[in-house]
Amino acid sequence: MKTLILASSSPRRQQLLKQVNIPFQVRIPNVDESAILATDPVEKVKQLAMMKAKHVPFHNENEVILAADTVVAFERTIFEKPKDKKEAYQMIAALSGNAHDVYTGVMIRSQDDERIFVERTQVVFWPLTQEEIEWYISTSDPYDKAGAYGIQSLGSMFVKEIAGDYYNVVGLPISRVVRELRDFSIYPNIS
């Protein structure tokens, strides 16, 4: 029997795995994400997912490790989690009325196999007023999310359209992850 280990403290990734009935344990990697200096969003999420997956040890041969990282990219500039209100304001103002890309890099590894892939979703924001942005950054919503917004929370009111996997924007392209996990003998529980 294989055991899935989620190498992430993200409550959103945990919720998505629960949503599809995949049992897992959490083992948080102790990594310095600032060590990854890639400026290309695809490279950055790949390298971060790999670093997280490889910093979580196997405790036995039946474990499968899943790690992921998500960034928002606007005009090839990576928007990570904002450090403060000023940075959150700048990010949301830049995204206002524009299309941006959300990339999630995923690494799945066992002791004898590993797989890495990147999923891309395009998101278009409505044009936002200064008042809307100031109201939003006064909430707690922007500060633990790449690009300073959560599509599954208050940030949803800014989204005009989306092309690609919605759950990728939340933080894990769950339908693709489920398909990839089959090759590692990890399946949703039948409830």
Query: pLDDT class for 188, splitting at 50, 70, 90?
Result: very high
Q: What is the pLDDT of residue 1?
A: 86
Span 67-78, pLDDT tens digits: 999 999 999 899
| Residue 128 one-letter amino acid | L
Query: What mean pLDDT do residues 90-108 have?
Result: 98
Per DSSP, 85 falls in state H
Residue 14 has φ and ψ, to the nearest 5°, of: -60, -45
Mean residue pLDDT across the chain: 96
Dmax over CA atoms of the chain, in Å, equals 54
Query: What mean pLDDT do residues 168-181 have?
Result: 97
Query: pLDDT class for 117, splitting at 50, 70, 90?
Result: very high
Q: What is the pLDDT of residue 127?
A: 98
Query: pLDDT class for 87, splitting at 50, 70, 90?
Result: very high
- Give the catalytic positions in this structure: 69
Span 38-52, pLDDT tens digits: 999 999 999 999 999
Query: What mean pLDDT do residues 169-178 have?
Result: 97
Strand 159-163 to 99-109 pairing? unpaired
Distance in angstroms (rounded) separating the CA atoms of residues 133 and 116: 36
Q: What is the pLDDT of residue 76?
A: 85
Domains of the chain: 3-182 (3.90.950.10)
Query: pLDDT class for 106, splitting at 50, 70, 90?
Result: very high
Residue 112 pLDDT greater than 90, yes or no: yes
Q: What is the pLDDT of residue 190?
A: 86
Query: What mean pLDDT do residues 96-124 have?
Result: 97
Residues 6+ away with beta carbon under 8 Å from 77: none
Residue 191 pLDDT greater than 80, yes or no: no
